Amino acid sequence: MPLVTTTEMFKKAYEGKYAIGAFNINNMEILQGVVNAAKVKQSPVIIQVSSGALKYAGPRYLKAMVDAAVEETGLDIALHLDHGADFEACKAAIDCGFTSVMIDGSHFEYEENVAKTKEVVEYAHARGVVVEAELGVLAGVEDDVKSDVHIYTEPAQAVDFVKRTGVDSLAIAIGTSHGAYKFAGEAKLRFDILEEIQGKLPGFPIVLHGASSVDPESVEMCNKYGGAIAGAKGIPEDMLRQAASMAVCKINMDTDLRLAMTASIRKVFAESPKEFDPRKYLGEGRKRIQALVERKIDEVLGSANKL
């Protein structure tokens, strides 16, 4: 069973008022935790890798692991490049066998973003690969992506962008942000912007980046066992579920997985200081990631039993 694109996933998600989880990976245990959860819940899933993950693990290693996950589970899995910096990065992922890529031109002037996105779309579509782009700017820091400003997506511009580029899905800025420190005060998402875009682009799949809820239990465990993650705060899960019931068909989660893995490893090291077998502490991280993703599928994404 080969990797799939997100086309059919998103069509079903839009019509069914749920979202597909897009989970960032950079090693085997994180991947296994995610796909094991998707298997238990019979949920489609998007495995995505950032440029940082590609540098760390290597594209062919990552692609081979995801191929193995497909064979092992029989799941519908799309392999996605997260935040491709330019045409060459997207081309390399496509040529390696990724079924979906994101070209992130959100930091460029609008016309340049349109041109760069269109170039990737033309190359990708000729090879059966789908493309995600971004309009608007998310604040925060995660992996190689960082910004000190937040610029909301303008609905009329989103319509023009989609029509001119031929992009398959669009990441928009409505108040989410990258990293573990998303809000100083109360969280607020601009559902009015999402609703207006949905009205102007009916049936078109929207993506939310920076959408980890920064799981409080993982943060507490990290801090209990020697971490220093004070003030970490994410997106309330009820807001994410509301977005998933609208036009949002893909919700990205990275920070939650990192926190779950780190919390478990810290706990093992604190409680068993003589432990040096990586299988023992990485295995605990894998278990916690699986439990976390199962809950996300049920309570946030609504994608259980959608295969």
Rounded to 5°, the CA angle 59-18-297 comes to 60
Q: What's at 233, amino acid-wise?
A: K
Q: How far apart are CA 263 and CA 30, in angstroms?
A: 13
Flag the least confident range among 87-101, 229-243, 253-267. Answer: 229-243
Note the pLDDT tens digit of each residue in 19-29.
Answer: 999 999 999 99
Which residues form the catalytic set? 82
Q: How far apart are CA 255 and CA 269, in angstroms?
A: 21
All structural domains of the chain, each given as residue ranges with its CATH number in brackets, are 7-299 (3.20.20.70)
pTM: 0.93
Instruction: Judge whether 127 and 97 are in contact, CB under 8 Å.
Output: no
Nearest to 3 by CA among 84, 64, 54, 82: 64
Whether the predicted pLDDT of 146 surpasses 70: no
The H-or-E segment that residue 145 falls in is strand 145-147
Q: How far apart are CA 47 and CA 241, in angstroms?
A: 20
- Model confidence band, residue 139 (pLDDT cutoffs 50, 70, 90): low
Q: How far apart are CA 185 and CA 182, in angstroms?
A: 9
Task: Write down the H helix ranges in the chain.
Answer: 7-16, 28-41, 51-57, 59-73, 87-96, 110-125, 155-165, 191-200, 216-224, 237-244, 255-271, 278-296
The H-or-E segment that residue 147 falls in is strand 145-147
Q: What percent of the chain has pLDDT over 90?
A: 83
Q: How far apart are CA 91 and CA 120, in angstroms?
A: 8
